[in-house]
Amino acid sequence: MATEITYEQLNVLNARYAQCIDDDRLEQWPDFFLDDCLYKITNAENHRQGMAAGIVYADSKGMLQDRVSALREANVYERQSYRHIVSMPVIGEPVQGRVSVETAFLVVRIMRGGKTDLFATGKYVDQVAQDASGALKFAERIVICDSISIDTLLAIPL
Nearer to a copy of itself, 38 or 110 (CB): 110
Distance CA(40)–CA(26), nearest Å, equals 17
Residues 71 and 99: beta-carbon distance below 8 Å: no
Cα distances (Å, whole numbers) of residue 16 to 19, 28, 55, 120, 150: 5, 11, 24, 19, 24
Q: Are strands 99-111 and 136-145 parallel, antiparallel or unpaired?
A: unpaired
Of the candidate spans 29-37, 56-64, 80-88, 133-141, the one that interacts with a copy of itself by CB under 8 A turns out to be 80-88
Nearer to a copy of itself, 12 or 70 (CB): 12
Provide, rounded to whole angstroms, the least separation between the CB of residue 63 and a copy of itself. 26
* Residue selected from 51, 70, 74, 118 as contacting a copy of itself according to rule CB under 8 A: 118
Of the candidate spans 26-34, 52-60, 70-78, 104-112, the one that interacts with a copy of itself by CB under 8 A turns out to be 104-112
